[in-house]
Amino acid sequence: MAHFAKVAEYSAKHPKPEGIEFAYGTAGFRTVGDTLESTVFRVGLLAALRSQGKQGKTIGVMITASHNPEGDNGVKLVDPMGEMLQQSWEGYCTQVANAASSDELVAALAAVVEAESIDTSVTPRVVYARDTRPSGPLLQAALEDGLAALGTDAASYGVVTTPQLHYFVRCRNTAGTDAAYGEPTEAGYFAKYTGAFLRLVDGKPHPSPLHIDAANGVGAPEVLKLAAAAASPYLSIEVHNGDTVTPGKLNKDCGADHVKSNQRSPVGMALQPGSRYCSFDGDADRIVYYYADERGTFHLLDGDKISTLAATYLRDLVAAAGIDDLQVGVVQTAYANGNSTSYIKDTLRLPTVFAKTGVKHLHHEAEKMNIGVYFEANGHGTVLFSPGAVAKLRRATPQTPAQDDAIQRLWALRDLINESVGDAMSDMLLVEAILICKGWSLSQWDEAYTDLPSRLLKVVVHDRTIFKTTNAEQTLTSPLRLQEVVDALVAKFPRGRAFVRPSGTEDAVRVYAEAATRADCDQLAYLVAGAVFDKAGGRGDRPAEFL
């Protein structure tokens, strides 16, 4: 095919490593950074085809491995509205990434063109960015070759957060339409979100400083720029773990994933009672909050707590605005703490559904709601206003000043939220705005419900692809009979719940357990992890008992 005339020449510079199978998973391709050059080159080709398939709309490419260790890297495609790549394309990505030769690669690309009836005469448009990982520059060069091979009109945003790139893509594709999202620049991003934030908190008392653990990642410089753009005592921040230069520091003993998984503060943050803390992950798409009480005990406010805070605030505003038939709903995954789900159903009386892990799955469920709040317990999430909800807001005619105020606040919240994807900076502003408006400390926010003790473990196995699940990933269908073993263990513990699923971003199997007491929870997690290790090909050290 003439369209692919230059592919072989460029591809020769980026040969596929032998013996490695790549798979487009939960958040794109993600593995050891040194092995990804051919894959990222090929993602450049796919991004161009995806853009042509969308009549020249701008597609995004983000080079990041987010919460993974610094040696890993990854790459994912961003669709025109700033959302994750349409799932039906994930198979194409996997096929193209695994083509063994230049000829096979061209054939795989031609098959995509054929299957999607792509008009290859359209000029492809792609924007891209990367996080701070050392392997990023080399992978970016490979991506640029892939884009050049198909004559792409391409632009780099340099080193930015993943959600910023999603935002830029959405802005570019909506410019000049009714759905115009903002200026597709860093300055535009900061102006939009800080402007909405300041509108919401105007006139309220100033909060105490917020200590941010930036995971030694790209969130550090970006959140400083955000605060500079706000230039307001409403956003007084202190950044910790902001070293993006020293090798080995990214996500090391810090960041949202570390804090959530280990349920303790990150390195470099000595918690003081009464002070306020949060952690981003390596590419700033997740956030969790935490504090220490008077006795120095650590308390985590994770994605479930953020979700319930946002849902409560939105529900109350909708009621105060006097808008009928505007329902707030919540999407969670199996990792949601059991008590958060009960709180949403029984106390807030809001509808809630479960989706599979991966924000793309939650996003699709939230799209079915009027106002859909979706968060993973790990702190990854956002809020979506459906077109119907936006139309109702537009039509709303306030009868009182209080109704008018509530409607203005709903508009400001919509502007404050990055609807394209979960965004640590935008979510931080959302939490800060709600806490400022309510006059709440972190411990007051925490009072809504008490988490059941929970534990998340990783088990390394020879082949995680043998693990298959159903029921929003809460039930194993393979390996055979392992689920029966898990069920029997769960039955031994009051309020016990546990599930096993293969990670889509790391070479490991994840085990989640919760139970009525910390001791029971830890015992259940240990027993389930041990069963996985013994019965499904554990590798390395057997999971140890908690002491």
If one asks whether residue 69 binds ligand G16 (CB under 6 A), the answer comes out as: no
Among residues 315, 380, 455, 464, the one that binds ligand G16 under rule CB under 6 A: 380
- When binding is defined by CB under 6 A, the residue of 50, 200, 510, 532 that contacts ligand G16 is 510
The reply on whether position 412 binds ligand G16 by CB under 6 A is no
The DSSP result for 226-275, as a single string, is: HHHHH-STTS-EEEES---SSTT-TTTT-HHHHHHHHTSPPTT----TT-
351 belongs to the binding site for ligand G16 (CB under 6 A) = no
Binds ligand G16 (CB under 6 A): choice among 7, 10, 14, 26 = 26
Which of 14/510 has CB closer to ligand G16?
Answer: 510
CB–CB of 330/374 below 8 Å?
yes
Q: Which of residues 215-274 bind ligand G16 (CB under 6 A)?
A: none
Tell me the β-bridge partners of 43: none
Any binding-site annotation on 377?
yes
Q: Which of 83, 144, 213, 285 binds ligand G16 (CB under 6 A)?
A: 285
407-430 burial, b at 16+ Cβ within 10 Å, e below that, comes to: bebbbbbbbbbbbbbbbbbbbbbb
26 touches 84 (CB < 8 A): no
For residue 505, state whether it binds ligand G16 (rule: CB under 6 A): yes
DSSP, collapsed to helix, strand or coil, labels residue 372 as strand
**Is 511 among the residues that bind ligand G16 (CB under 6 A)?**
no
Interaction between residue 66 and ligand G16 (CB under 6 A): yes
With 0-12 / 13-18 / 19 or more C-beta atoms within 10 angstroms meaning exposed / middle / buried, residue 531 is buried
31 lies in the site for ligand G16, by CB under 6 A? no
Choose the binding region for ligand G16 from 138-146, 172-180, 269-277, 357-365 (rule: CB under 6 A): 357-365
Distance, C-alpha 496 to centroid of its chain: 27
Q: How far apart are CA 155 and CA 516, in angstroms?
A: 52
Cα(350)–Cα(267) distance, integer angstroms: 37
Helix, strand, or coil here: 158? strand
What is the number of other CB atoms lying within 10 angstroms of the CB of residue 21? 9
Residue 506 touching ligand G16 (CB under 6 A) = yes
Number of residues that bind ligand G16 (CB under 6 A): 18
Is position 66 annotated as part of the catalytic site? yes
List 7, 10, 11, 27, residue binding ligand G16 (CB under 6 A):
27
Residue whose CB is less far from ligand G16, 257 or 451: 257
Instruction: Identify the active-site residue in 51, 66, 420, 426.
Output: 66
| Residue 115 three-state SS | helix
Range 470-499, binding ligand G16 (CB under 6 A): none
Residue 132 interacting with ligand G16 (CB under 6 A): no
Query: Annotation-wise, does 170 bind a ligand?
Result: no
- Give the Cα separation of 192 and 284 in Å (integer): 18
- Would you list which residues are annotated within the binding site for substrate? 376-378, 501-505, 510
User: Which residue positions form the known binding site?
Assistant: 66, 281, 283, 285, 376-378, 501-505, 510
Which segments are annotated as binding site for Mg(2+)? Answer: 66, 281, 283, 285
Looking at the annotation, which residues are catalytic?
66
Residues that bind ligand G16 (CB under 6 A): 26-27, 66-67, 281, 285-286, 357-359, 376, 378, 380, 503-506, 510
